[in-house]
Amino acid sequence: MNTCVRHGAVTPSERLVTPPAGLFAAMLTLGLGGFFIGTGEFASMSLLPSLAEGTGISVPQAGRYISAYAIGVVVGAPLIAVVGARWPRKMLLLSLLLLVMAGYLASALAWNASSLLVARFVSGLPHGAWYGVGGLAASAMVPVSRRTQYIGYVMLGLAAANVAGVPAMTWLGQHLGWRAAFLFVAAGVMLTAIMLLFFLPATPAVRNVSLLHELSALRKPQVWLTFAVASVGFGGMLAVYTYITPTLIHVSQFSLSSVPMVLVVWGVGMVCGNIVGGWLADRALVPAIVAMLLWNVLCLVLFSLVAHIPWATVLVLFLLGNGFALVPALQARLMDVASDAQTLAASLNHSAFNISNAIGASLGGLAISAGAGWAATGWVGALLAAAGLGIMCLSISYAKRSQNDGYHHR
């Protein structure tokens, strides 16, 4: 086993670990878990009319199912991270998969609106912790110079879900019913759990970590600043994504049947951005985050300007998908600024992105309701991305000031 000491991505006491069946099999397992979890999250939105009909409520009321899942992510990510900080990561990841499977089985068996609401909340609880702890597990298997790239590979499952998983689950829901769609996710998660048993390396529990130790990360201003960048800056992309279907139909003049293929282009952009962004962040993390936020500002403005041109809209959506590169980069940033409170920091990132989902959707909806038009979500998104860029600049300024203060006190 490689015994090169690693810093930054994991606690100083940890060393590189070797997967029992090779790095590819281990990363495939982590990516597959992200694929099925991401599929369940996003496809639930496309199945909303079926969920509403099946539980006897209106479509607007069924929106609570999406909110319940998001609340589960926001609550579960830090809670599970803190409680499970001392667990061996393989055991923690396996437990998270079992909780996901239980949530989706309960969703498939729900008998009314209240039971489905609870099931969606339970399904969301392990979401953020899976991506956070999965990123830590991936970074423990590679040198620090490749850390963000491999965190990105874990996120690749989430990006790929928009290319293949969401269309597949949506098709199942339309032809076999929404219960079959939820069972599809549960079966995929069970397969991932079996693969995890064989392909992920066992790592010892971190004995010197406690509840207070993990929560100590919340005393650090840089943790909150990075959290705010993710919560606000990524909301721009989600402001557009939330209302993309009516925008494509009413502004870009696409037919309803062609919308899924357009969204696949967005998903392909997410995959490409995830790979390239991780590579860039490993070479210059902070400049990469600044560049990605600026990229999102420009692409969101461009979206509003060209939304009435079908071919240009497709191209811009691919470029917007590239902005998903921000996810692994910000996770690496949180892991850096949190020092050795790694589990909480890695999971907080996904709480932040679900907050950004709520912010983007709410502000985009306000703009549309005010009569600004469907394409106005691009302008709203650009303002949110610019605000995230401003917070990131504040974080950089704070870091420089802290370094200067440390130098003068020597």
- CA 324 to centroid of chain Cα atoms: 9
Report pTM. Answer: 0.75
How many angstroms separate the CA atoms of 9 and 137, rounded? 10
Tokens of 231: 């919560």
The DSSP call for residue 142 is S
Helix (H), strand (E) at residue 367: helix 342-369
What residues pair up with 15 in beta bridges, in sequence order? 5
pLDDT at 409: 44
Instruction: Using a pLDDT cut of 90, give the percent of the chain over it.
Output: 29
CB within 8 A of 62, min separation 6: which ones?
Answer: 48, 49, 51, 52, 55
Query: Which of 320, 124, 345, 319 has its CA nearest to residue 230?
Result: 345
The answer to whether residues 82 and 68 touch, using CB atoms and an 8 Å cutoff, is no
DSSP H helices, 284-325, are: 285-306, 310-322
Structural domains for the chain? 19-206 (1.20.1250.20), 208-404 (1.20.1250.20)
Tokens of 149: 């790239």
pLDDT at 341: 64
- Quick one: average pLDDT of 68-87? 81
pLDDT tens digit sequence for 137-177:
888 888 877 877 787 788 788 778 878 887 788 778 878 88
pLDDT at 174: 76
Up-side HSE of residue 396: CA atoms within 13 Å toward CB?
Answer: 12
pLDDT at 142: 84
The answer to whether residues 225 and 211 touch, using CB atoms and an 8 Å cutoff, is no
The answer to whether residues 334 and 227 touch, using CB atoms and an 8 Å cutoff, is yes
pLDDT tens digit sequence for 376-409:
989 999 999 999 999 999 999 988 887 766 544 4
Q: What is the mean pLDDT of the chain?
A: 82
Question: How many CB atoms neighbour CB 407 within 10 A?
Answer: 8
pLDDT tens digit sequence for 220-278:
888 889 889 988 988 888 788 877 778 888 899 988 778 778 888 888 888 888 888 77
How many angstroms separate the CA atoms of 136 and 55, rounded? 39
pLDDT-based confidence at 5, cuts 50/70/90?
Answer: very low
pLDDT-based confidence at 101, cuts 50/70/90?
Answer: very high
Please determine, for residue 329, whether its predicted confidence score (pLDDT) is greater than 60.
yes
Q: Which of 68-77, 111-120, 179-188 has the lowest mean pLDDT?
A: 68-77
The DSSP call for residue 162 is I
- Distance set, CA 275 to CA 130, 269, 278, 280 (Å): 19, 10, 5, 9
Q: Say whether 21 sits in a helix, a strand or coil.
A: coil
